[in-house]
Amino acid sequence: MSLFGIIFGLALLIFLAFKGQSILWVAPVCAAVVALFGMFEDPTINVLTMYTENYMTAMSGFIKSWFPAFMLGAIFGKVMELTGAAKSVGLWLTQLIGAKQAILAVVVACGVLTYGGISLFVVVFAIYPLAVALYREADIPNKLIPGAISLGAFTFTMTAIPGTPQIQNIIPTNYYGTTAMAAPVMGIVAALVMFLLGMIWMKMREKKLKAEGLHFVEPSNLAVSEDKELPNPIVSLIPLISVPITMNILKFPLVGALLCGVVLAMVLNFKHAKEFPKALTDGASGGLMSIGNTGAANGFGGVVKAVPGFATLTAMLLNVPGTPLISEAIAVSCLAGATGSASGGMGIALEALGPKYMELAANDPNLTPEALHRIASVASGGLDTLPHNGAVITLLSVCGLTHKDSYIDIGMNCCVFPTVAVIVCIIMAMIGIL
């Protein structure tokens, strides 16, 4: 009954997330369902205690560990957005590559901003107007804009490229004692798999839609942009470059690297100082909401771990044929899909199973913490981007499009190809290539 309760609680969480309900209340309600079923096997379980102790301990522990990083990351993104620095870099890169390669230009611009530490949501708002300008000149159908933005921002720079400061690459360090550069060869290969398959898909789609007679249509939801007021793009690149350099070469913690990025962005764009209070306020609010959602998912994992059925679930996952890396990938992918959040799903999986995987790694020379890190990170960026994902909904809304218009491209780029990349990573780990 307890195992059934875990499965039922997860199913309910998936259903409510698909309906667009906030995980802030969905996660504790679903955790209560898990606890209720757990009582059938362990009468000492108290639902209220499960919430006040197990759920809140897991949630508050995650927030305590990660709030500075979430908040500074959000503030950094807001400073770069409101000063026009993010848009300046994006515009420069897209002009450098040119409209003839409009899709590639959008993907590269999104990738540079994301690898520089800018949050996915900020990238969407910064790049969309530039994508419209490029697609207009190249006469590419608008419905291909979300696919290009999602490929550049939601995939290889989020989870795979070694050293990326995105939280999906940092969370595993807390469980496996690794660094953001873990398994660099595996990460680069995974990034190439996602990038190349994504670009092939997008070019095929462009050719197909043009053959059907579709053209660029002027969007009605885009405000007039004032590019003449944008800061110098080379200067604007400096804060973006500083984050991965200070984190990976100077060995600053993520919080220190992000703080350097924020300070540099403010100093180099001081003429926009009037925007700083708004950036600090909006960034802090956005960071709080973001970590609240992820922490709530972690709280659910804390309750799952405390009921009797968890031992059965763990045994089932760890007995998946082949390397434990397969069970880790399955657990992280499924939970990321359930929560609609890469960081949330990974948090639940690693909070519950991370110590067990580390125990296995200590006794198995062919299973390393670095491989566990990279596979967990890449796996988190697969099924998380199902239709109910918040970033997907925001992206389509900003582009003025619907799931029917563009989700096929998002789904291929962000679900199918990352899953292929995970399989490649597992094979590499099994033959000792990290």
Per the structure, the count of domains in the chain is 1
pLDDT digits (tens, 9 = 90+) for 363-388: 888 899 999 999 999 999 988 887 76
H helix intervals, 39-119: 47-49, 56-82, 85-97, 102-115
Q: Which of 190-199, 312-321, 395-404 has the lowest mean pLDDT?
A: 312-321
Is 338's pLDDT higher than 70? no
Residue 70 tokens read as: 């979430």
pLDDT for 115 equals 96
Q: Which of 110-124, 169-183, 344-358 has the lowest mean pLDDT?
A: 344-358
- Note whether residue 162 is domain-resident: yes
Q: Using 50, 70 and 90 to split pLDDT, how confident is the model at 197?
A: very high
Cα–Cα distance for residue pair 44/46, rounded to 1 Å: 6
Q: Which of 172, 204, 200, 175 is nearest to 187 (CA)?
A: 172
Q: Using 50, 70 and 90 to split pLDDT, how confident is the model at 223?
A: low
- Note whether residue 62 is domain-resident: yes
DSSP state of 84: T
pLDDT for 32 equals 95
User: What is the chain's Cα-based Rg?
Assistant: 21
Is 390's pLDDT higher than 60? yes
Is 302's pLDDT higher than 80? yes
Q: Using 50, 70 and 90 to split pLDDT, how confident is the model at 289?
A: confident
Q: Using 50, 70 and 90 to split pLDDT, how confident is the model at 126?
A: confident
Residue 242 structural domain: 2-213+229-430
pLDDT for 316 equals 83
Residue 381 tokens read as: 């960026």
- Note whether residue 253 is domain-resident: yes
Cα–Cα distance for residue pair 353/335, rounded to 1 Å: 12
Residue with tokens 């967990």: 376
- Residue 166 three-state SS: coil
- Note whether residue 224 is domain-resident: no
pLDDT for 222 equals 64
**Letter for the amino acid at 297?**
A
Q: Which of 345, 419, 434, 372 is nearest to 194 (CA)?
A: 419
Q: Using 50, 70 and 90 to split pLDDT, how confident is the model at 15?
A: confident
- Note whether residue 223 is domain-resident: no
pLDDT for 413 equals 97
Cut 0.85: pTM above it? no
- As a whole number, the mean pLDDT across the chain is 90
pLDDT for 292 equals 87
Residue 326 burial by Cβ neighbours in a 10 Å radius (0-12, 13-18, 19+): middle
pLDDT more than 70, % of the chain: 97
- Note whether residue 218 is domain-resident: no
DSSP helix, strand, coil percent of the chain (3-state; round to 5) = 80, 0, 20
Cα–Cα distance for residue pair 362/381, rounded to 1 Å: 26
- Do 90 and 127 form a contact (C-beta atoms < 8 A)? yes
Residue with tokens 């096929």: 408
pLDDT digits (tens, 9 = 90+) for 48-63: 999 999 999 989 988 8
Q: What region does 141 belong to: left with phi over 0, alpha with psi -120 to 50, or beta?
A: beta
Q: Which of 381, 424, 413, 404 is nearest to 203 (CA)?
A: 413
- Note whether residue 219 is domain-resident: no
Mean pLDDT calculated for residue range 64-84: 89
For Cα atoms 74, 77, 83, give the angle at the middle one, nearest 5 degrees.
135
More confident residue, 70 or 189: 189
Cα–Cα distance for residue pair 9/3, rounded to 1 Å: 10
Cα–Cα distance for residue pair 248/240, rounded to 1 Å: 13
Phi, psi of 389 (to 5 degrees): -60, 135
Mean pLDDT calculated for residue range 399-426: 94
pLDDT more than 90, % of the chain: 60
- Do 413 and 198 form a contact (C-beta atoms < 8 A)? yes
Q: Which of 240, 255, 219, 198 is nearest to 86 (CA)?
A: 240
- Note whether residue 77 is domain-resident: yes
Top-confidence range, 70-84, 215-229, 314-328: 70-84
pLDDT for 314 equals 76
Mean pLDDT calculated for residue range 138-165: 96
